[in-house]
Chain A
Amino acid sequence: MSATNTFTETSDSGFSSPPQVDCPTSDNVPASTPILDVHDVTVAYQHKPVLWDVDLTLNRPHLVGIIGPNGAGKSTLLKAILGLVPLASGTVSILGKPLAQQRRLIGYVPQRESVDWDFPISVVDTVLLGTYGHLGWFRRPGKSERELAHDCLRQVGLEEFAKRQIGQLSGGQQQRVFLARALAQQAHIYFMDEPMAGVDAATERVIFDLLRRLRESGKTVFVVHHDLRTVRDYFDYVVLLNLRLVASGPTDQVFTPEKLQAAYGGRLPILDAAAEALRTREAPHDHL
């Protein structure tokens, strides 16, 4: 698997190179079109860079965890890939083409706080929004879209809430509505911004099962994740960020104490959690 995961690093910038992943890149193998190719991406808010020279290439479907300390630019990376923030430099291509031509291949789960949950819309209608991209201008969702929406709701265990107004759900249920909406996008590549932040255990389990099923059906999922303890359980590929790309590659090569130290610096409490996670990584996960 590792042979197809390349990690590249721009060396023409004046900054010191972050540690590279010892990844046996086989340049002689004709590379198929990368699923995602992020090249030299820099994002700046008001002259202050929040993401520097990020290069990232993913050639095979993976469950990718994007991790890093607070303010490391995890969400920004996702937004940069999705064209939600302007790039100061760099390019992003999805399956060899610019984002604008590949929007139908993309599913998106934004942070839960990003919308007004008092908006007058029912659960099933929210999920139906996911089908709008395929419908195009002026066409209204019909019977097949409704069936798809209900099917997606079933997959996240919310079918019985279909008619409720979204504000009447718990936080975890709201998060699952967003997941169902992303499923209704029938995408190949999913981008999820902290889907497991502040959710209940039942929701975390639904999300985990869903991630696994997506992975099994050959989809790629990028997840901004904050809980280092569960990284090993959830992801087979890790992108470690701290304004710059610290490392990226298969989880067992990247999720190591040295690389975490590089990303998190001296923030010891977090490192302790990571160390604990590493110690217990082989332990069965009790409730999940």
Chain B
Amino acid sequence: MITYNTLIVLIGTSLLGASAGLVGSFAVLRRRSLTGDALAHAALPGLCVAFLIVGERSLPAMLLGAFASGLLGIGVISGLRRWTRIKEDTAIGIVLSVFFGAGIVLSRCIQNTPGTGSKAGLDSYILGKTAGMIFQDVVLIAGLAAFCLGILLLFYKEFRVVSFDPSFARVQGWPAVSLDLLLMSLIAVAVVIGLPAVGVVLMASLLILPGASARFWTDELDWLLVLATIFGLLTGGVGTLISTWYSLLPAGPIIVLTGTALFLLSLFFAPRRGAIARWLSAYRVHSQLRRDKLLTLLHDVSEPYWPESSEWTIEDLASRKSWPPRTLKGLLHNLVIWGQLDVSPEGKYRLTQSGWQMSAELARNQRLWQLILTEHAEWSGCLANLDQTDVRECVPAEFHAQLDRELRAKNRYPRVLE
């Protein structure tokens, strides 16, 4: 049974996961993932300074401090990039480690102070701790999450054009820099509300993983944002549940591992963009390519004997292609099944009626490409995949007819097709 306390924590972490996933998607799309990471690390000194100023553990004050120093970190990164010769990745590395180092020193100083130190609980901001979350915290998280959602909905169109093509947006008159700053501020808000639960070290994964996972499942920005929000919600919620059941496990790392599980699932099993789907489609393309090459070869060796069907052994064919015998045998076997080849009991292969037709068309296509490459170089701009692309798709009909005539004049036009 879920207790009231667990429920509070569950709602809080789900909401923070959702908002981090939502705004983090834009960081992923803009290739600013590392900037998000630096922002999270840079938040630590702000937390500590806020604690020192207020003198007690006050969540709103500390989050405000984290927000300010996070944005300061982003400011330093863009300043270094703009006014010095330091490259962006170096600037990110510098800011991340320097701010984090300063934050660790400050937090140790606070904890070593007798009296206040133990109350601060600053350690939980480094690796995260969900157990301490109370109702007021959840209200704050919910408010900030709603704020992020509202801003994103309001500026959706503007964020879209600035994220995809900043210079086009600027020509249209959109204030790209201000919109960028707004987006970075939203990311800072998401970081800040995530800090108490997952900590500065692992916050980046909550920003990056949901967006990166969602990208596998959709090609539409709207759906990507919806999916990333859901993934973030699940990551926070499920991670919290697991860490509650096994109370010895720290919440932050468990939440990150939950997000990683979702990411791996997406990476491998997403349709089309997933690793398995891509591998399968590459395999299909590859085997079709080899099949076409083999058919073209069979056509070229058989053509002189046409209309007689000449017979070829595996050795005949293997001597002309560098394929291993097993591959060749498999290909020939498939062609027999598909009806392009007949095989005699002695293991000799010859083209069938439909095999002749298909192979002749492939051979014509290939010879047309050769003609274009050697004698019509001005058309080579349309070269795509020579084996896969039909010449007719790339050149106008009248030019195609001319190419056919040239092929005939060279006596290279497949006799089968005459």
Binding site for B on A (CB under 8 A): 79, 82-84, 100, 103, 106, 108, 110, 114-116, 119-122, 125-126, 129, 132-133, 135, 137-141, 165, 170, 172, 181, 185, 191, 198-202, 204, 286-287
Contacts and interface: CB of A to CB of B under 8 A. Distances in A.
A138 B155 CA distance: 6
B157 A132 contact: yes
A200 B221 contact: no
Contacts, number: 95
Given A116-B31, A201-B379, A287-B396, A82 B219 contact: no
Interface of B: 29, 31, 154-158, 160-161, 163-165, 167-168, 170-174, 215, 218-221, 224, 378-379, 381-382, 384, 394-396, 399
Contact of B167 (A110, A119, A122, A198): A110
Nearest to B163: A119
Contacts of B379: 201, 287
Contacts of A103: 171-173
A103 B396 CA distance: 38
B382 A133 contact: no
Given A103-B172, A114-B165, A202-B394, A138 B157 contact: yes
20 contacts: A79-B167, A82-B170, A82-B171, A103-B173, A110-B165, A110-B167, A115-B164, A120-B29, A121-B219, A126-B164, A129-B168, A132-B161, A132-B172, A141-B157, A170-B384, A185-B172, A200-B381, A201-B378, A202-B394, A204-B381
Given A138-B154, A170-B384, A129 B220 contact: no
B37 to A, nearest CB: 20
A122 B220 contact: yes
A115 B29 CA distance: 11
Contacts of A170: 384
A82 B160 CA distance: 21
Contacts of A286: 378
B224 A84 contact: no
Contacts of A165: 219
Contacts of A108: 167-168, 171-172
A285 B3 CA distance: 80
Contacts of A135: 157
Given A79-B167, A120-B218, A140-B157, 17 more contacts: A84-B167, A84-B170, A103-B171, A108-B171, A115-B165, A120-B219, A120-B221, A121-B160, A121-B164, A122-B219, A129-B160, A129-B164, A133-B172, A135-B157, A170-B384, A201-B381, A202-B394
Contacts of A172: 381-382
Given A132-B157, A201-B381, A287-B399, A120 B171 contact: no
Contacts of A140: 156-157
A82 B158 CA distance: 19
A175 to B, nearest CB: 12
Contacts of B219: 120-122, 165
Contacts of A287: 378-379, 396, 399
Q: Which 3 A-B pairs have the closest CB atoms?
A: A200-B382, A165-B219, A133-B172
Contacts of A115: 164-165
A264 B218 CA distance: 48
A199 B165 contact: no
A238 B387 CA distance: 41
Contacts of B221: 119-121, 125
